[in-house]
Structure 1
Amino acid sequence: MSAGPTLELRGLGFRVGSRPLLEGIDLDLPAGRMTALTGSSGSGKTTLLSVAGGLLEPSEGTATLDGRPTWRGTGDPAPDIAFVLQVYGLVPILSARENVSVALRARGVAPREADARADAALAELHVADLGGRQVEELSGGQLQRVAIARALVVRAPVLLADEPTSELDPTTRGQVMALLRAEAERGAVVVVATHDPDVADACDEHHAMAEGRLLARGRRVAR
């Protein structure tokens, strides 16, 4: 495993008007380990991933990767940050293959190579046969696997996954967790927001949230 940068959150807060959605978040998300964020709906997990990964600008505090702010002023994440969004974030007019391939093309990969790597990523998620189908034709579980393939294929230093197993059966959930584990083992920061206690237990660190705050110091597991 190669050492990578830590995603550092210091005094992180996010507000909508006067309403705080995150307050006082101090957290190190280390490379080479899987970190779980748990909490009920509305606890702040999705907002924390969005601010940490540069989709939203912090109202206070900082989110930095290798000393550089993740917020770039556009709402688009940096190329070294990949997301699995709870709403999938796939483009309806594109096929499953194209949705995965476009993430590589945006990073300068040639179209033919991008398509080949997209097919390989879909095969890892056991949806290779769906590559030519438009995403509007896919089920929830299929959409989720395509979204995961799109995040995995770029091999980014940071992978932020919001409820990545919510639509999956237990067997497929285990396969996805093994792929996320492989990302951590190659040296990526892997953060998983989840309601599933089995998913949280499969991670190295666990931080519970409520009302936009961390409840307690996270659990660390020696591996």
Structure 2
Amino acid sequence: MTAEMNGTGDLVLDHVSYQPGPLLLDDVSVTFAAGRVTALSGPSGSGKTTLLSIAGGLVAPSTGAATYDGRATWQGDGDPPPEIAFVLQVYGLVPILSARENVAIALRARGTSWTDASDRAEAALARFDIADLGDRQVEELSGGQLQRVACARGLVVGAPVLLADEPTSELDQGNVSVVLDALRAEAERGCVVVIATHDPAIVELADHHVAIDEGRIT
């Protein structure tokens, strides 16, 4: 995999609240350190996905600030900055594209040629043991296969921040290990890696644990 990191700073939320109507995050301050895997745990509805969305620049906080390497992650348009990549709980894949094309378009959006993007997408799929599924349309894939394609797309760009929302929820134990090994490797090359999870085994394997409930760090 290529290393495209342009920064090795921390991802910081400073007194962040989010209240689009109901209060979803309440004065959250937390630092996600570079080079470490942080598990973000909490029950459904606790605010994990909202926290990741604000941390990654998808949503503007109502108060406070989210910064990476000292710069605000919210850019005003709901697109994350190029330093941040997501593995989404809902996959976010394009139904009319193949698995390989879904991974390649993440690189195309960053200016990579189609040939290079396709080759790197193939390698990313192989990293998750699904290179043989590259030509399959996403509607032909199982939930676990979709999840691994989403992981390949998140990691292929080599971003210095990787935010993964329940990336192993559809996987058997063998494939959980494959995904966690890949995420660990990203941290070892200096990335900020945050995994939102319900799985106590992932919490146990992480370098750092942040728990959230009812929009507050506990």
Aligned match for 2:173, one of 170, 174, 189: 170
Matching of residues 25-174 of structure 1 within 5 Å? 25-174=28-177
Matching of residues 195-210 of structure 1 within 5 Å? 195-210=198-213
**What's the CA shift string for 1:109-144, capped at 9, x where partnerless?**
111010000000001101111111111111100000
Which TM-score applies when normalising by structure 2? 0.96
Q: Secondary structure at the match of 1:12?
A: strand
CA distance in 2, matches of 1:85, 1:197: 20
Over aligned residue pairs, what C-alpha RMSD do you find? 1.0
CA distance in 1, matches of 2:76, 2:101: 27
Whether 2:17 is the aligned partner of 1:8: answer no
Question: Any runs of at least 4 consecutive aligned residues in structure 1 with deviations exceeding 4 A, and if so which?
Answer: none
Measure how far apart 1:78 and its partner are.
1.1
CA distance in 2, matches of 1:79, 1:67: 15
Whether 2:209 is the aligned partner of 1:185: answer no
Measure how far apart 1:188 and its partner are.
0.4
Identity %: 63
**What's the CA shift string for 1:56-102, capped at 9, x where partnerless?**
11011000011111001111111110000000001111110000000
Q: Secondary structure at the match of 1:190?
A: strand
One-letter identity of the residue aligned with 1:11: H
One-letter identity of the residue aligned with 2:14: R
One-letter identity of the residue aligned with 2:12: E
Measure how far apart 1:40 and its partner are.
0.4
CA distance in 2, matches of 1:65, 1:80: 8
Farther off after superposition, 128-137 or 161-170: 128-137
What stretches of structure 2 of length at least 5 have no aligned partner?
none
Q: Matched residue pairs, number?
A: 213
Measure how far apart 1:164 and its partner are.
0.3
One-letter identity of the residue aligned with 1:134: Q
One-letter identity of the residue aligned with 2:53: S
